[in-house]
Amino acid sequence: MPDTLRAKAVALLAQREYSRATLAKKLSPLAGSAAELERLLDDLVGRRQLSDARYAEMRVTARGRRYGDLRLARELQQDGVSDELIADSLALGEDETRRCREVWQKKFGILPDNLADRARQQRFLQYRGFSPSAVRQVLQGLIEEGDDE
């Protein structure tokens, strides 16, 4: 069983990155015991085949163009990534306000001319996980396309 468990873990990791908690969840039905699973996970971490830091960076890079820091942080927390690694990964990502503007530009393109449109645009950006300050700056038109902060 340990060889089967290791083979399944390596096969999963060959397809994409996983957090330790997510991989443990996927492998737990195949594991004989929790101790066996923990030993395998510790070994994979030791061999640098499994890394929460690498997983967090990959997720921020892959989903960062569409979502804000609040949503990315929430998703990473749900995947069992530590708060410290989340903060480090988000710090390495692009500026949230710039990403917010790009998402807004693609969806709407023009500033709202009434309160109903403003509320709709604001809800959309907040649902995407952008911070209130980033949303406010974009909707006030403070961030222009040519800005290089």
Residue 49: what pLDDT?
95
Q: Which two tokens stand for residue 96?
A: 């949230």
The fold for domain 96-139 equals Arc Repressor Mutant, subunit A (1.10.10)
Most confident of 30-34, 92-96, 122-126: 122-126
Look at residues 61, 82, 81, 60 and name the one whose alpha carbon lies nearest to residue 71. Answer: 60
Instruction: Look up residue 149 and give its two tokens.
Output: 């902060």
Residues 84-98, mean pLDDT to the nearest whole number: 93
Token pair for residue 3?
Answer: 């060889």
Read off the tokens for 31: 């594991």
